[in-house]
Copies of this chain bind each other. A is one copy, B any other.
Amino acid sequence: MAEALTGEAILVATEEVLRRYGPAKATVVDVAKALGVSHGSVYRHFPTKAALREAVTRRWLDAIHVEMESVLDPDATAGDNLRAWLQHLFDRKRLSHSDEPELFATYKVLVSESSIIPDYHLGHLVGQIARIVQAGVDTREFVTDDVQTTAQAVWDATQVFHHPAHAQEWGNPHIQDAFDAVVSLVVDGLRYNRIPSATGDA
């Protein structure tokens, strides 16, 4: 007999169908056709079309989460780590938007379709920022009385450079300067009342 139909195979096929037809045109029937099965079989593995799309989105976001983890350098200062982390996220989104605009638009739609996916994604990334901020507080490089709130503030302050609603601004030739200015402002804010070269308290 042929290969057993797995959830994994369905996800791969769904990704391909989404990539080819876009989020508006991709149907469950298309996915089944690509797999050479009836669409009823797809519904044995995923309860609804929305659940199927959500699973594809989660896979994609998880890959980003893993990639972002790898940016952190345990030997670097918290300021450098934060800057590199934000730069990497920005570069990734910007390249994706400029090189594969249709795929970028597809995932933008997929993420906005779900009510839980954005919280999942944001929670994870803000958690990574919180770890960087906490490391900075531990080495007395940063000052804050609430790491979680501060991490969220860092995320909020840099929205222009990762929220897809601002993607059209990423083509601006001076966007890197704007990024540097915001990140410098934010990192300086975290270092409030500290001389960069000093390690002691004020």
What CA separation (Å) do A185 and B189 show in the bound complex? 5
Kindly identify, within residues 162 to 188 of chain A, every residue whose CB is under 8 Å from any CB belonging to chain B: 163, 165-166, 177-178, 181-182, 184-188
- Least Cβ distance of A144 to chain B in Å? 9
Q: Is the C-beta of A149 less than 8 angstroms from some C-beta in chain B? A: yes
Q: A159 to B166, Cβ gap below 8 A?
A: yes
List B contacts of A152 (CB < 8 A).
Answer: 178, 181
List B contacts of A195 (CB < 8 A).
Answer: 193, 202
Residue pairs across A and B with Cβ atoms less than 8 A apart, 23 shown, are A146-B181, A149-B177, A149-B178, A152-B178, A153-B184, A156-B178, A156-B181, A157-B158, A157-B185, A159-B159, A163-B165, A165-B165, A184-B189, A185-B185, A185-B189, A186-B189, A187-B189, A188-B188, A189-B189, A192-B192, A193-B193, A193-B195, A193-B196
Interface of A is mostly: helix
What CA separation (Å) do A160 and B159 show in the bound complex? 7
Among B165, B181, B182, point to the contact of A166 (Cβ < 8 A).
B165
Interface size on A, as a range, is 20 to 34
